[in-house]
């Protein structure tokens, strides 16, 4: 299917684009600097040139470089426009999502962080390109790991650093440019993977893309208490920790059978229900487009 992605210049957005490409072929992409000047003409020009069947927009909640309301409405005249929000569970996004609905900016507003209570049209989970997770399995020589942006002096960094110092957590702090394949290889070396389900402001919890990546990587997922993961996966697919002390105990004491069983169950559920084609296909169906790969390839 011919698609146009309009996104900010972030690694997460690039991963969403590659997940689409893995399912339906490479889309056209226009990226913008969310802190820079507003250049809406680039978006409408690209849409007029590409004439896509669908436009996918991934932006910030509030930013100078975001497309104007009028521009989003104009894009809808060219093709259906789908908003992808990976932080819909975070309270600051709710006013923005509501404003988009009021002005009819999108044909479909989608939460990909499992936020069923957000003002969106569809809640689902993060589509992941499964390709990098294939190939020969590396030795799982990391008992418990974390790969992501740690930051400084925030609730997430405090938990991660405490577990790094006192529980032997292996941390891969992604800063600046980093190949996704290197992130994936790290995950595949982990027997357990720590996830912290806080939203960016730590005002709520959501289902992060790391949950799906753990399933594709075959890791046992250690998930924060308070996460809405139970709305999406059976409870035997993950192990919940209450606080850093409890997480440290689990990292040190979980037995092999428990670790392997949870890892296997999460992998089964992710591979059965959350392939990139299934996730994106669910969005396409909601806007009246057929997700059959043969039909899409010909369109």
For residue 121, the model assigns a pLDDT of 98
Residue 38 has pLDDT above 90, yes or no: no
Give tens-digit pLDDT for 252-285: 999 999 999 999 999 999 999 999 999 999 999 9
Residues 206 and 189 in one domain: yes
Residues 73 and 180 in one domain: no
Give tens-digit pLDDT for 143-195: 999 999 887 878 888 999 999 999 999 999 876 667 999 999 999 999 999 99
Residues 69 and 84 in one domain: yes
Residue 210 has pLDDT above 80, yes or no: yes
Residues 61 and 21 in one domain: yes
CATH (domain of 112): 3.40.50.2300
The number of domains in the chain is 2
Residue 119 has pLDDT above 90, yes or no: yes
Q: What is the maximal distance between C-alpha atoms in the chain?
A: 58
For residue 295, the model assigns a pLDDT of 41
Residue 206 has pLDDT above 50, yes or no: yes
Residues 58 and 71 in one domain: yes
Structure tokens at 142: 């990391």
For residue 24, the model assigns a pLDDT of 96
Residues 76 and 114 in one domain: yes
Residues 55 and 147 in one domain: no
For residue 299, the model assigns a pLDDT of 35
For residue 272, the model assigns a pLDDT of 98
pTM: 0.93
Residues 70 and 151 in one domain: no
Domain residue limits at 214: 131-273
3-state secondary structure the chain: CCEEEEEECCHHHHHHHHHHHHHHCCCEEEEECCCCCCCHHHHHHHHHHHCCCEEEEECCCCCCCCCCHHHHHHHHCCCCEEEEECCCCCHHHHHHHHHHHHCCCCCEEEECECCCCCCCCEECECCCCCHHHCCCCCCCCEEEEEEECCCCCCHHHHHHHHHHHHCCCEEEECCCCCCHHHHHHHHHHEEEEECCCECCCCCCECCCHHHHHHHHHCCEEEEECCCHHHHCCCHHHCEEECCHHHHHHHHHHCCHHHHHHHHHHHHHHHHHHCCHHHHHHHHHHHCCCCCCHHHHHHC
Residues 153 and 210 in one domain: yes
CATH (domain of 260): 3.40.50.2000
By percentage, how much of the chain surpasses pLDDT 70? 96
For residue 195, the model assigns a pLDDT of 97
For residue 193, the model assigns a pLDDT of 98
Residues 88 and 136 in one domain: no
Backbone angles phi, psi at 13, to 5 degrees: -65, -40
Average pLDDT estimate for 237-259: 97
Residue 293 has pLDDT above 60, yes or no: no
Give tens-digit pLDDT for 42-96: 999 999 999 999 999 999 998 999 999 999 999 999 999 999 999 999 999 999 9
């Amino acid at each position: 299917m011919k698609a146009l992605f309009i996104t900010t210049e972030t690694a997460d957005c690039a991963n969403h684009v590659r997940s689409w490409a893995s399912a339906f072929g490479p889309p056209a992409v226009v990226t913008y600097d969310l802190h820079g000047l507003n250049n809406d003409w680039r978006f409408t020009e690209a849409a007029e040139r590409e004439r896509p069947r669908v436009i996918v927009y991934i932006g910030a909640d509030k930013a100078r470089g975001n497309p104007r309301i009028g521009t989003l409405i104009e894009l809808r005249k060219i093709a259906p426009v789908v908003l992808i929000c990976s932080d819909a569970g975070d309270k600051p996004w709710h006013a923005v999502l509501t404003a988009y609905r009021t002005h009819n900016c999108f044909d479909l507003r989608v939460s990909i962080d499992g936020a069923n209570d957000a003002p969106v049209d569809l809640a689902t989970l993060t589509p992941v390109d499964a390709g990098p997770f294939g190939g020969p399995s590396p030795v799982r020589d990391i008992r418990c790991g974390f790969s992501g942006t740690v930051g400084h002096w925030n609730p997430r960094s405090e938990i991660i650093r405490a577990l790094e110092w006192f529980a032997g957590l292996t941390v891969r702090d992604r800063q600046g440019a980093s190949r996704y394949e290197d992130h994936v290889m790290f995950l595949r070396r982990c027997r357990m993977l720590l996830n912290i389900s806080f939203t960016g402001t730590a005002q709520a919890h959501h289902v992060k893309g790391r949950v799906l990546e753990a399933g594709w990587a075959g890791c046992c997922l250690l998930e924060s208490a308070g996460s809405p993961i139970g709305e999406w996966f059976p409870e035997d697919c993950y192990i919940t920790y209450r606080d850093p002390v409890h997480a440290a105990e689990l990292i040190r004491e979980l037995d092999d059978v428990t670790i392997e069983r949870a890892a296997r169950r999460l992998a089964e559920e992710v591979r059965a229900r959350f392939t990139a084609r299934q996730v994106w296909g669910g969005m396409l169906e909601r806007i009246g487009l057929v997700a059959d790969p043969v039909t899409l390839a010909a369109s």
